[in-house]
Amino acid sequence: MLVLFAPALWLLIFFLIPLAVVFGISLATKQFGRPPYSALLSTEDGTVQLTLHLSNYIRLFTDNLYVAAYLSSIRIAAIATVITLLVGYPMAYAIARADDRWRNILLMLVILPFFTSFLLRVYALTGFMRGNGVINQFLGLFGIEPLVMMQTDFAVYVGIVYTYLPFMILPLYTTLVKLDVSLFEASADLGGRPLRTFLSITLPLSLPGIIAGSMLVFIPAIGEFVIPSLLGGPETLMIGRVLWDEFFTAANWPRAAAVAVAMLVVVVVPIMLMQRAQSAVVEK
């Protein structure tokens, strides 16, 4: 109990209480003043009245803007997660099978980007993908027309894969490095080709790492704001940008709070499903 007290207190103070406050604001209505939302409790003639408004949540399901933003966020996050998995799996496998003297160096190279500011790393990508950036200048040496990369979904995918790739590699490496090499030797002795060995042994045993890495990439990518703001265009609609606009442009705190609570539900559901799948894999 003493060991669990500190993290439980931390979650209570910095997660559950702020979540309760945001949920309460989402049940209010916008008004001019301080605070910029109506009070939930009011007293009149000695009577305490609780007033809850569900209009903000109803608006989320009836307004095409919010529905499209949620669907677009899920689509972009899912595609970026698949690309990150395809890129990160071979890298994690190579690091897990590398010699001990090279393994720590390769892991350091994976972690090295974390020593640089997240905002600075994303902004640096604009120098590569803009019209007169490094990539188009290099292509110009061969007479190739400049490519339009900035302010597109392609740039958003590149930004998410680039920034969240270590979150995919590290869980995969932790799983792959624990695999028993004798299983591969037994497969080879039984006539199994490398591809068959990978599909029958390596891939199934690495499913916990795949699920963990996918969760670490997919969940924050849904609510990403910096990457679509710097690399995406006006048509790149993600819920993080909608949330920012509601808070700071429209100054509609109740609706922004409703968007945040709904986004939390959207994130919690895949967490529960992936944890259940991961538990099933571990039990087998």
Distance of alpha carbon 77 from alpha carbon 157, whole angstroms: 8
Give the global pTM: 0.87
- Greatest Cα pair distance, the chain, in angstroms, is 87
> What number is the average pLDDT over the span 149-178?
93
11 pLDDT above the threshold of 90: no
Query: Hey, what CATH class is 54-283 in?
Result: mainly alpha
Distance of alpha carbon 267 from alpha carbon 121, whole angstroms: 25
Per-residue confidence (pLDDT) for residue 61, from 0 to 100: 86
Q: Give the pLDDT band of residue 163 (cuts 50, 70, 90).
A: very high
Give the domain ranges of the chain: 1-53, 54-283
> What number is the average pLDDT over the span 61-89?
93
Helices (H), ranges, the chain: 2-11, 17-26, 55-62, 64-97, 100-111, 118-129, 134-140, 153-176, 181-189, 194-197, 203-205, 207-222, 226-231, 239-244, 253-283
115 pLDDT above the threshold of 80: yes
**Two structure tokens written together for 107:** 């892991």
189 pLDDT above the threshold of 80: no
Per-residue confidence (pLDDT) for residue 201, from 0 to 100: 87
pLDDT-above-70 percentage for the chain: 96
Q: Give the pLDDT band of residue 269 (cuts 50, 70, 90).
A: confident
159 pLDDT above the threshold of 90: yes
Distance of alpha carbon 179 from alpha carbon 170, whole angstroms: 15
pLDDT tens-digit series, residues 274-284: 677 666 655 65
Distance of alpha carbon 156 from alpha carbon 168, whole angstroms: 17
